[in-house]
Structure formats: C-alpha cells, structure tokens
C-alpha cells in the first residue's frame, strides 16, 4: 500500500510524536509498504491508499488544515483515513476515519466526543535503536525467546561448553549464545567444536545453540549487543586465570552463573551464583529459572517484543485497514445499485 503519514512537524525535529512518525514509517516500510512522512505544505491528496494523521484532527495548532483534512475524509472515501490520537484538545468535528488512541486513557477521553469505535494501539519502541543493537544480533529476534543464556568463549576444552549444552537440554524455552569460532590453527579446538556439534544433536538442542562465530568473527559491538539481550551469563570453565566475562556481565547488569573455581571466586561479584562442576544440569536449570535477576531480564525482553513496531502494526493496524477496505467496497456497491 501507498501510505502517507501526516503531522505538524517531522523528523529530524526532536519530539515524542516526531520519533513515533519515524519509527512507524520505518516499520511499515519493513512490512513491504511504500511510506512517506509529510507536514502540511509538503503533502498532496493524490493517489494514497492510506493516510495516517497524527494529532492534526485533535490538536488544532493549524485549524484551517484540521478542517481541510476533515473535509477530505468526507470527499475522498477512496482513501483509508486513520486518526491517530496522542492528545485531545479539540474535537468539535470528528473525521470519517478509523480512530486509534495510543492508550486506554486517551481512548476514554476521545470517547466523550464520538460514539464511533476507538481502537487502542500503543506507540511502539525501536529497541534496536534505544539499546544500540548491532544488525546481526537484532536479526536474531532474541526478544521473542523464552530465555537467553550467553557464554562468550573460545573453543577450548577447559571452557566446558558441553555443560552449557546439557543445561540447555533442561531449558526447552532457552537459546544458548556461544560467541567464538574454532581456531583453524588449533587442531584440538576444531575437534572439540565438532564434538560439541555432535553432542548438541544428541541432546536435541542443535537449533537452540547458536555458535555465532562459526560463519563470521563477532565485533566488540556485536558482543556488547549480546550482553544487552542476555538473561544470564553461563560460564562453567574448569579452570581460568581470571574470567573477564564475569566483569563484563556485571557491568551490563546480567546475572552471572559461573563455576566455583579459584579465579571465579576472586573475580565474581557478590551477586554471582557459583556452582560446583559436578552440579546437575537439572538443578542448575531450576536455579536459573528461579533467579529474580533472570526474571527481570526476561520481563525486559518481553517488553521489547510487546512494543515492537512491526508486530503492533501487523497485528493491530493492518487488520483495521483491511476492514476499512471491505466497508468502503460495500458503500460503493450500494451506491452503484
């Protein structure tokens, strides 16, 4: 569809509604639509399929334009009009449009002025931009996972990645991120990697363990993005000289689950959960699930998924536009008969 988005101002002007315009437009483009954002003097009512009007119908900073647009909703039924209500300061006349309020509070305010249906669609949030996620990590859609475990590591046997795989098998809702790639100069590292792949297959977790360095080396920014999306650091090394990921995870406020070895006892924060190397995967899985910090990180990712613009528009707005098309078709049919 060809979609125009209208407001009094637009990006790069800084403002809450202006940010919404930009993110909404980008999401609609990602969903396959042709989209442009306009202010009054830029836009023309040409061959648009949909016109989304943000606040102009209900905030009369330019009453002449408000009235002009309301008239167009009456004379151009071929266009599907959307009245996107952020604020209600004027409602002397209600446009012929599908009405969308950004919250139940705004819906109840606008309902004082019209008996027409008012649909609540919250403004989304571009979490990728807010968190500075790199494209490669954002593309994994980790916000939709039940649980995300992270182990930044090389393929060295003392890193004990197989323990992570066994814990993963006890967490069917989880994704396990392993950052490294096998070093072709270390024969045992390549062999160890192949063993891990076989074990993952035996345990039935091959699709849920992501060896992210297998195809391309991760940048520092991509590793930082993984910390942003992780619910817990799982670090089961059998031996370490230090354990830098424990520090990195703490700085990113990611809960730490690490093996109880001398270096980790020295480096880990007081909040870290240390476990014996002989601990059972089932018991560790229970501890991870029950951890308050992990639950908080899961809730954070769930918020990201819930406020994702593409999801909101695909599930809440586009079905309404389809209904408008059907209603418009019925009106034209009655007129013709």
User: Can you read off the two tokens belonging to residue 63?
Assistant: 């009453």
Convert the pLDDT of each residue in 267-287 to its tens digit.
999 999 999 999 999 999 999
Reading the block at residue 58, the tokens are 């209900």
How many other C-beta atoms can be found within 10 angstroms of the C-beta atom of residue 107? 18
Task: Please choose, from the candidates 83, 32, 27, 22, the residue with its C-alpha nearest in 3D space to the C-alpha of residue 58.
Answer: 83
Rounded distance between C-alpha atoms, residue 1 and residue 28, angstroms: 10
Q: Where are the alpha helices (DSSP H) in the chain?
A: 16-30, 63-75, 104-110, 127-131, 135-138, 161-169, 187-203, 220-229, 244-251, 262-267, 281-290, 292-306, 309-312, 318-336
pLDDT in tens, 207-259: 999 999 888 889 999 999 999 999 999 999 999 999 999 999 999 999 999 99
151: left (phi over 0), alpha (psi -120 to 50) or beta: beta
| pLDDT surpasses 70 at 325 | no
What pLDDT is stored for residue 182 in this prediction? 66
Contact at 8 Å (CB) between 167 and 232? no
> CA 53, 54, 60 angle in degrees (round to 5)?
95
Q: What is the pTM of this model?
A: 0.86
**pLDDT tens readout for residues 33-46:** 999 999 999 999 88
Identify the structural domains of the chain with CATH numbers, from first to last. 2-124+308-336 (3.40.50.2000), 129-305 (3.40.50.2000)
DSSP type of residue 325: H
Q: Which residues contact 210 (CB under 8 A, 6 or more apart)?
A: 140, 175, 176, 177, 178
In whole angstroms, how far apart are CA 270 and each of 198, 256, 264, 265, 273? 36, 10, 11, 9, 8
Per-residue confidence (pLDDT) for residue 188, from 0 to 100: 86
**Given strand 98-101, what is the order of strands in its sheet?**
34-38, 2-6, 50-54, 80-85, 98-101, 118-120
Contact by Cβ (8 Å): 237, 152? no
Number of other CB atoms surrounding residue 251 within 10 Å: 10
Number of residues that this document lists for the chain: 337
What is the overall mean pLDDT for the chain? Answer: 93
Cis omega before residue 3 (within 30°)? no
What per-residue confidence (pLDDT) applies to 329? 45
CB of 79 closer than 8 Å to CB of 324 = no
DSSP E strand boundaries for the chain = 2-6, 34-38, 50-54, 80-85, 98-101, 118-120, 147-151, 174-178, 209-211, 232-235, 256-259, 273-275
For the chain, the maximum distance between any two Cα atoms, rounded to a whole number of angstroms, is 85
Cross-strand pairs, 75: none
């Amino acid at each position: 569809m060809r979609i125009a988005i209208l407001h009094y101002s637009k990006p790069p002007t800084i403002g809450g509604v202006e940010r919404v315009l930009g993110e909404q437009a980008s999401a609609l483009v990602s969903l396959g639509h042709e989209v442009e954002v306009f202010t009054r003097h830029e836009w023309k009512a040409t061959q648009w399929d949909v016109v989304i009007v943000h606040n102009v119908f209900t905030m009369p900073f330019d009453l002449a334009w408000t009235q002009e647009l309301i008239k167009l909703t009456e004379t151009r039924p071929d266009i599907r009009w959307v009245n996107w209500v952020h604020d209600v300061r004027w409602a002397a006349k209600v446009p012929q449009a599908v009405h969308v309020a950004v919250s139940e509070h705004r819906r109840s305010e606008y309902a004082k002025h019209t008996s027409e249906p008012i649909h609540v669609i919250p403004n989304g949030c571009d979490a990728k931009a807010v968190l500075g996620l790199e494209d490669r990590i954002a593309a994994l859609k980790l916000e939709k996972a039940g649980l995300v475990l992270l182990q930044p590591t090389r393929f060295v046997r003392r890193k004990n990645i197989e323990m992570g795989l066994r814990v993963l098998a006890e967490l069917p809702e989880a994704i396990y991120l392993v950052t490294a790639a096998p070093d072709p100069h270390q024969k045992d590292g390549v062999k160890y990697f192949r063993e891990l792949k076989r074990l993952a297959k035996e345990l039935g977790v091959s699709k849920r363990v992501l060896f992210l360095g297998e195809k391309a080396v991760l940048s520092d920014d991509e590793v930082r993005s993984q910390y942003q999306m992780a619910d817990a650091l799982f670090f089961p090394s059998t031996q370490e000289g230090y354990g830098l990921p424990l520090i990195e995870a703490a700085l990113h406020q990611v809960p730490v689950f690490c093996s109880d070895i001398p270096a980790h006892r020295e480096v880990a924060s007081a909040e870290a959960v240390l476990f014996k190397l002989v601990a059972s995967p089932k018991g560790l899985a229970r501890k991870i699930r029950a951890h308050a910090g992990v639950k908080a990180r899961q809730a954070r990712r769930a918020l990201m998924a819930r406020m994702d613009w593409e999801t909101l528009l695909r599930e809440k707005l586009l079905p309404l536009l389809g209904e408008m098309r059907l209603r418009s078709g019925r009106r034209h049919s009655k007129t013709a008969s």
